[in-house]
Amino acid sequence: MTLLSFQVDQSTISRLDRLAERRKLSPEEVATLAIEEFVEREEWQISEIEAAVREADKGDFASADEVDAVLSKYTAPPTGR
């Protein structure tokens, strides 16, 4: 592991300490988990955005009929009961 040093405002530190206590973990463990989860989520999101841009660049869009089919599921009048 590598030691990482950075500044965090006091209110965040207090919240981190409370969360660590509730989770029965050290504040360092909670911070490490938070950073790992953030990095995973951001990597996934950026990857998905880049894939969508590649699809758009290739002209890979939903047809009008496909869009209408999806929209009709949410805008169709309710069936009688």
What average pLDDT does range 51-57 have in this prediction?
94
3-class state of residue 65 by DSSP: helix
Residue 74 predicted with pLDDT over 70 = yes
- Which DSSP string do the residues of 27-59 spell out, in sequence order? HHHHHHHHHHHHHHHHHHHHHHHHHHHHHHHTT
Query: In whole angstroms, what is the distance from residue 48 CA to residue 45 CA?
Result: 5
**Mean pLDDT comparison of 4-8, 41-45, 55-59, highest-scoring range:** 41-45
| Mean of per-residue pLDDT scores for the chain | 93
pLDDT of 80 > 70? The answer is no
Q: Residue 81 above 70 pLDDT?
A: no
Domain boundaries, given as residue ranges, for the chain: 10-75
Look at residue 48 and tell me whether its pLDDT is greater than 90.
Answer: yes
